[in-house]
């Protein structure tokens, strides 16, 4: 061990600010190169350097490094841990992103399947309405469910009693329900 490291650690443990600047000036560019050689294409090498130096000074403050240690191996041990954490985080983020994309694809497929089923249902209902209901029943359902008119409004519009409109509406709905239940393979398949 060099006496320089020994003296520098003693000064750091004493809290001397000049000793901190000395460590920064001595190791900053080496740490920067360490990351640049191992992590390609990253623009935040300085953040890694800051993290390493902050961890080193924190270890000194907590008494985890003593004057019988070498500074360089201790600092580069921290740098190695920072690099591993970075790669672990990259892998974890990639896995999370991948799972999110898979989930999106599953939900997208489900939504597409649901949309197609809804189209089949709508077509089946429209076919039932067109082929199975009398014209007056079609008008009554249209007034109730499309135009959202009340019983009195439909009654006065068609010139029929409220009772007549109500009975026709219930019969038309019952007929639609029966016809749709006959076609349930469309909904299941």
Residue 158's domain comprises 133-188
pLDDT at 161 over 90: yes
What is the per-residue pLDDT for 159?
92
Task: Determine the pLDDT at residue 1.
Answer: 43
> What pLDDT score does 148 carry?
84
Number of domains in the chain: 2
We report the CATH number of the domain holding residue 168 as: 1.10.10
**Predicted pLDDT at 44:** 78
Is 46 a member of any domain?
yes
43 assigned to some structural domain:
yes
Tell me the whole-structure pTM to 2 decimals.
0.47
Co-location of 91 and 141 in the same domain: no
CA distances from 184 to 117, 125, 133, 175 (A): 12, 11, 19, 14
Q: CA-to-CA distance for 157 and 129, rounded, in angstroms?
A: 21
Q: Is the pLDDT of residue 29 over 50?
A: yes
Task: Tell me the pLDDT of the chain averaged across its residues.
Answer: 80
Q: What average pLDDT does the segment 105-113 reach?
A: 55
- 92 and 137 assigned to the same domain: no
Angle at 150 between CA 149 and CA 153, to 5 degrees: 80
């Amino acid at each position: 061990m060099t006496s320089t490291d020994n003296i520098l650690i003693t000064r750091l443990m004493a809290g001397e600010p000049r000793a901190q600047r000395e460590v920064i000036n001595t190791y900053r560019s080496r740490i920067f190169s360490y990351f640049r050689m191992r992590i390609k294409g990253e623009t935040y090498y300085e953040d890694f350097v800051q993290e390493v130096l902050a961890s080193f000074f924190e270890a000194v403050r907590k008494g985890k490094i003593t004057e019988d240690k070498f500074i360089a191996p201790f600092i580069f041990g921290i740098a190695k841990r920072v690099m591993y954490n970075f790669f672990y985080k990259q892998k974890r983020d990639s896995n999370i992103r991948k799972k999110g994309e898979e989930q999106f694809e599953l939900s997208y497929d489900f939504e597409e399947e649901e949309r197609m089923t809804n189209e089949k249902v709508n077509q089946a209902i429209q076919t039932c309405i067109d082929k199975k209901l009398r014209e007056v029943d079609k008008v009554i359902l249209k007034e109730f469910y499309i135009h959202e008119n009340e019983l009195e409004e439909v009654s006065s519009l068609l010139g029929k009693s409220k009772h007549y409109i109500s009975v026709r509406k219930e019969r038309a709905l019952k007929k639609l329900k029966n016809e749709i239940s006959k076609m349930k393979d469309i909904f299941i398949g």
